[in-house]
Amino acid sequence: MSSRVRVHLRVEGRVQGVSFRAWTARTADELGLSGWVRNREDGSVELEAEGPPEVVDRLEQWCHQGSPASRVSAVRRLELSPRGDLGFVVRR
């Protein structure tokens, strides 16, 4: 089993205009994960996160709750191959 995993998450609900990206980036950074987060044109937010499996799972659980003003209706997960990126960024 790999010591690192990478996942793509698509978060649906009221997740734009409620600081969801900033909260996600801060949480991922605090957890020591790498990857990115961005808004999608359809109103959802997508992100990729890479790190130890249990830490990536913690970020995914956070995404189910979201920022204080958000209302998450679904989180869809896709497993990816780790790439070894460094840092976590907010994309436009």
Structure tokens at 30: 């605090």
> Active-site residue 4, yes or no?
no
Residue that has been written with the tokens 């990729």 in this structure? 48
> Active-site residue 10, yes or no?
no
Backbone angles phi, psi at 33, to 5 degrees: -90, 160
**Active-site pick, 4, 26, 39, 58:** 39
Structure tokens at 32: 């020591």
**Active-site pick, 21, 38, 40, 92:** 21
Known catalytic residues are: 21, 39
